[in-house]
Amino acid sequence: MLRHLLRRNDAKIILLVMDGLGDIRTAEFPKTPLEAARKPNLDALAREGLCGRSQPISYGVTPGSGPAHFALFGYDPLAGENDVGRGVLEVLGTGYELERDDIAIRGNFATIDSNGILTDRRAGRIPHEDCIRLCAKLQDRIAEIEGAKIVIMPVREYRFGVVLSGIRLSPEVEETDPQLTGKAPLAPVARTPEAKRTAGIIAKLVDQCNAILAGEKRANAVLMRGISRKPSIETLQERTLLRPAAVAAYPLYRGVAKLCGMDLVDTGFSIREEFETVRSVYGKDYDFFFIHVKKTDSFGEDGNFEGKAKVIEEVDANLPLLLDLKPDVIVVTGDHSTPCALKAHSWHPVPFLIHSKACGIDNARAFTESECDRGGLGVFPATAIMTLALANAGKLKKHGA
Amino acid sequence: MLRHLLRRNDAKIILLVMDGLGDIRTAEFPKTPLEAARKPNLDALAREGLCGRSQPISYGVTPGSGPAHFALFGYDPLAGENDVGRGVLEVLGTGYELERDDIAIRGNFATIDSNGILTDRRAGRIPHEDCIRLCAKLQDRIAEIEGAKIVIMPVREYRFGVVLSGIRLSPEVEETDPQLTGKAPLAPVARTPEAKRTAGIIAKLVDQCNAILAGEKRANAVLMRGISRKPSIETLQERTLLRPAAVAAYPLYRGVAKLCGMDLVDTGFSIREEFETVRSVYGKDYDFFFIHVKKTDSFGEDGNFEGKAKVIEEVDANLPLLLDLKPDVIVVTGDHSTPCALKAHSWHPVPFLIHSKACGIDNARAFTESECDRGGLGVFPATAIMTLALANAGKLKKHGA
């Protein structure tokens, strides 16, 4: 980012991210979901806009959701300071204000059998109401361990967050999740001598939680993951002079947005609700709106082609809610690809479109992978997206005389 | 640049730069000037050559003319040492040999009213003859201020150059141009304590100039801009072993070429005159010819679509003058885009073609933005152009066994 080029103006930018949007054609899947979906509004944007394929990290590198979003927001996804623990992201995503020395943990409610062997790492995906009830139950009986204050908060379904506050804490502790059923949860192991105290506190916390949960049918144990501390990251306001708002329903994405300095706006989960939320704050003093649509990724991970195509159609059907706002710049892309054929995140570059008065019209005739391959941007680094958006919004001055 | 790969041979390279060549399609401008212009010779070169889109600096970054040309010549346009002041470029462009410690300034003749308020920053774009006359008048009465030798030279129309030579001078002085009419010119302010003496000299110079010009109707004041010192830049001869000549009529481009070590050839302003100039020195000991065509940019900045297309047609009509020379390599591109719809420089990558026996023929069927998007080079950094030209000229050896 070329800071000396930045200038403020009133132009507004919408960044619409469909998680895991990119897909691939294979013998088994001769079309991609974007190719199969009926989506006249997105196709019109692509036809009148500029297209390409954004590469989240590098050739052949499959990103997790955190790094993929950091890249979208213009941060180097491989830089050490941007390698943020999942615990931090989930806790921030709940709206909790982490302090610099706090330790954040992402917890899973899980099921163990009478021998202490894991039978379900997600406690049968208990409903969110159970998550709230169980977190309250744990918090009610656990306030402090060895001088460290303990805060336990619901995240979503089987996921919860834990914050340890106090002196002499360290995030250098291994997770307790063995990642497989049929094994007992692991002990929290300190990676450094300084982390021994923290590992001991987490071990006691796990024991106390499991004792309190002993009567539960499904959520009778906890796993501790992503033990981490909030890094000091330059905010988007500092880096771009933007005044950013995030409309994302899922905690992880809210966490990344929060860490980058965005205001988190409360929103419902459906696409329509998210777009209505954007409309409700559009007139305020924001000039950048990050919108996160989750389900394209979820269906991709399930290999559910129809489901993924339907989400794209739902986005398209609701798109007029955003287009009626007449944003100066609208970007539509994904954070990474999640091909139905692979049922997992992948390294394939992501369909991308940008639309503004200044974008220039290219050869792409629709918003699909293969048409984006014909676009004027070629394959380009996702970290360039913010710069392109700023340029199209007239928020960058000329470099040099 | 991979210096260990360089080898000399007699192959000749022509780099034809149409300033601000790139353009964009918009609703208002459904074709670009390149798409509208009749240009059979350029289209044939594109069809038989290799095309792409060269990116002057980076995604979304709009270059000034200086950085854009440094990139074309293979220099990192963002490196501090290549951030050259406009004063240096304009003075070098007149052919003046700047010494290392000299301070170079770009002057504007301007108009002020009886209260000293600027009414025209360009003195009504006085003719070049007036510029010559006024510079002679000023030089005649000002030879030295506080021990610093003063040289005043005409550049073009309302623009002139000033060189201060002497001891204890510093370029760390702010411009006196307020960039807006309706304001008084600014005082030259020292940015560092060491620059106070120089700021004082420039203040006296301005006062003396304005006193001498008091009787003029339009050019009755001066503005001092781009106060700078020549950086030490490795020449193209050193970096590439090329023996380069520059055929450029406008001072700024002559200045950049000179700074990179090119020989400046005297030329007329028209495209025909420039191409004839190339022919006149083609048999000499040069193997690289930079040709600069200015008017594509000027018309782009005016939003004059027809004008820009006509310049392209004029280049095409005169192109046989160059092609008859049978250069081993010919490159045609721009330094940056200046879309008619934006009336300004922009960040959009620039149409590019290279033609040689070794270039390889790609899918581009004409020399336009959208056909270059189909070209074999894709979007690539402008700093790679020199290396590509050298390779096509057989001037680069194999790297490794």
pLDDT at position B3 is: 87
Q: Given an 8 Å threshold on Cβ–Cβ distance, is A398 in contact with B78? A: no
**Nearest residue of chain B to residue A386 (CA atoms):** B60
Instruction: Confirm if B374 and B364 have CB atoms less than 8 A apart.
Output: yes
State pLDDT tens for residues A349-374.
999 999 999 999 999 999 999 999 99
Q: What is the pairing mode between strands B288-293 and B144-145?
A: unpaired
Write out the two tokens for B301: 């900045």
Chain B contact set for A375 (CB, 8 A):
373
Q: Least CB-CB distance to B379: which of A378, A392, A401? A: A378
Cα A89 to Cα A72: distance, rounded to the nearest angstrom: 16
Rounded mean pLDDT of chain B? 96
Q: Where are the beta strands (DSSP E) in B40-132?
A: 50-55, 103-112, 118-120
Buried b (16+ CB within 10 A) or exposed e, B218-255: bbbbbbbbbbbbbeebeebeebbbbbbbbbbbbbbbbb
A387 touches chain B (CB under 8 A): yes
Q: What is the pairing mode between strands A118-120 and A103-112?
A: antiparallel
B52 touches chain A (CB under 8 A): no
Q: Given an 8 Å threshold on Cβ–Cβ distance, is A362 in contact with B346? A: no
With a cut of 70, say whether residue B1 has pLDDT above it: no
Quick one: how far is CA B44 from the chain centroid? 27
A116 touches chain B (CB under 8 A): no
State pLDDT tens for residues A49-80.
999 999 999 999 999 999 999 999 999 998 87
B63 touches chain A (CB under 8 A): yes
Listed residue (A127, A128, A134) closest to A216, CA to CA = A134
Listed residue (A311, A307, A316, A300) closest to A366, CA to CA = A316
Q: What percent of chain B has pLDDT over 90?
A: 93
Rounded mean pLDDT of chain A? 96
**Cα distance from N-terminal residue to C-terminal residue, chain A:** 19
Task: Tell me the shortest Cα–Cα distance from A37 to chain B, in angstroms.
Answer: 26
Write out the two tokens for B52: 């792409």
Q: Where does B151-249 have alpha helices with state H?
A: 196-212, 236-240
B374 touches chain A (CB under 8 A): yes
Chain B contact set for A363 (CB, 8 A):
370, 373-374
Please report, for residues A95, A109, A121, A126, B229, the alpha-carbon distance to residue A213 in angstroms, rounded to integers and kept in the order given: 26, 10, 15, 14, 74
**Nearest residue of chain A to residue B252 (CA atoms):** A401
- Give A289's strand partners: A14, A245
pLDDT at position A321 is: 98
Q: Given an 8 Å threshold on Cβ–Cβ distance, is A358 in contact with B369? A: no
Map residue B264 onto helix, strand or coil: strand
Write out the two tokens for A120: 């379900």
Chain A contact set for B27 (CB, 8 A):
48
Give chain B's count of helices (H) and strands (E): 13, 14
Write out the two tokens for B273: 């005159």
H/E element, A14: strand A13-18
Listed residue (A88, A67, A16) closest to A258, CA to CA = A88
Listed residue (A13, A42, A58) closest to A372, CA to CA = A42
- Residues with Cβ within 8 Å of residue A306, at least 6 apart in sequence: none
H/E element, B302: helix B295-302
A400 C-beta neighbours (distance < 10 Å), count: 22
Q: Least CB-CB distance to A399: which of B62, B89, B369? A: B62
B320 C-beta neighbours (distance < 10 Å), count: 11
Q: Given an 8 Å threshold on Cβ–Cβ distance, is A363 in contact with B345? A: no
Q: Where does A283-328 have alpha helices with state H?
A: 295-302, 305-318, 320-323
Q: What is the pairing mode between strands A329-333 and A13-18?
A: parallel
Listed residue (A327, A328, A310, A240) closest to A275, CA to CA = A327
Task: Tell me the shortest Cα–Cα distance from A63 to chain B, in angstroms.
Answer: 22
Residue ranges and CATH numbers for the domains of chain A are: 3-83+234-392 (3.40.720.10), 88-228 (no CATH)
Instruction: Confirm if B313 and B272 have CB atoms less than 8 A apart.
Output: no
DSSP B30: S
Instruction: Confirm if A150 and A205 have CB atoms less than 8 A apart.
Output: yes
- Give B285's strand partners: none
Q: What is the pTM of this model?
A: 0.91
Phi, psi dihedrals of residue A102, rounded to the nearest 5°? -65, 150
A5 touches chain B (CB under 8 A): yes
**Nearest residue of chain B to residue A364 (CA atoms):** B370
Cα B352 to Cα B360: distance, rounded to the nearest angstrom: 14
A79 C-beta neighbours (distance < 10 Å), count: 12
pLDDT at position A323 is: 98
Instruction: Confirm if B352 and B54 have CB atoms less than 8 A apart.
Output: yes
Burial class (CB in 10 A: 0-12, 13-18, 19+), A16: buried
Cα B113 to Cα B105: distance, rounded to the nearest angstrom: 24
State pLDDT tens for residues B50-91.
999 999 999 999 999 999 999 999 999 888 777 788 899 999
**Nearest residue of chain A to residue B57 (CA atoms):** A399
Q: Least CB-CB distance to B61: which of A363, A399, A401? A: A399
Instruction: Confirm if B335 and B69 have CB atoms less than 8 A apart.
Output: yes
State pLDDT tens for residues B205-228.
999 999 999 999 999 999 999 999
Write out the two tokens for B89: 């470029």
Mean pLDDT, consecutive 10-residue segments, chain A of 401 residues? 88 98 97 98 98 97 94 91 87 92 96 96 94 97 96 95 96 95 96 97 98 95 96 93 97 94 95 98 96 97 97 98 98 98 97 98 97 97 98 95 72
Write out the two tokens for A149: 């204050």
Task: Tell me the shortest Cα–Cα distance from A2 to chain B, in angstroms.
Answer: 8
Please report, for residues A130, A304, A316, the alpha-carbon distance to residue A136 in angstroms, rounded to integers and kept in the order given: 10, 35, 40
Please report, for residues A61, A300, B24, B291, the alpha-carbon distance to residue A351 in angstroms, rounded to integers and kept in the order given: 16, 15, 21, 39
Cα B396 to Cα B389: distance, rounded to the nearest angstrom: 10
Chain A contact set for B24 (CB, 8 A):
358-361
pLDDT tier, B306 (very low <50, low <70, confident <90, very high otherwise): very high
Task: Tell me the shortest Cα–Cα distance from B114 to chain A, in angstroms.
Answer: 31
- Phi/psi region, residue A144 (left: phi>0; alpha: psi -120 to 50; beta: rest), is beta
Q: Given an 8 Å threshold on Cβ–Cβ distance, is B60 in contact with A380? A: no
B66 C-beta neighbours (distance < 10 Å), count: 26
Q: Least CB-CB distance to B60: which of A362, A375, A388? A: A388
> What angle do helix axes B295-302 and B305-323 make, rounded to 10 degrees?
170
Q: What is the pairing mode between strands B103-112 and B118-120?
A: antiparallel
Cα A155 to Cα A106: distance, rounded to the nearest angstrom: 9
More confident residue, B77 or B373: B373
pLDDT at position A80 is: 74
Mutate to test the interface with B, among A53, A333, A365, A399 (most CBs of B within 10 A): A399
Cα B383 to Cα B399: distance, rounded to the nearest angstrom: 19
Q: Given an 8 Å threshold on Cβ–Cβ distance, is A380 in contact with B57? A: no
Mutate to test the interface with A, among B91, B253, B347, B374 (most CBs of A within 10 A): B347
State pLDDT tens for residues B100-152.
999 999 999 999 999 999 999 999 999 999 999 999 999 999 999 999 999 99
Q: Least CB-CB distance to A376: which of B85, B345, B373? A: B373
B137 touches chain A (CB under 8 A): no
Chain B contact set for A400 (CB, 8 A):
63-68, 77, 83
Chain A contact set for B89 (CB, 8 A):
401
Task: Tell me the shortest Cα–Cα distance from A391 to chain B, in angstroms.
Answer: 5
Instruction: Confirm if A293 and A274 have CB atoms less than 8 A apart.
Output: yes
Map residue A256 onto helix, strand or coil: helix
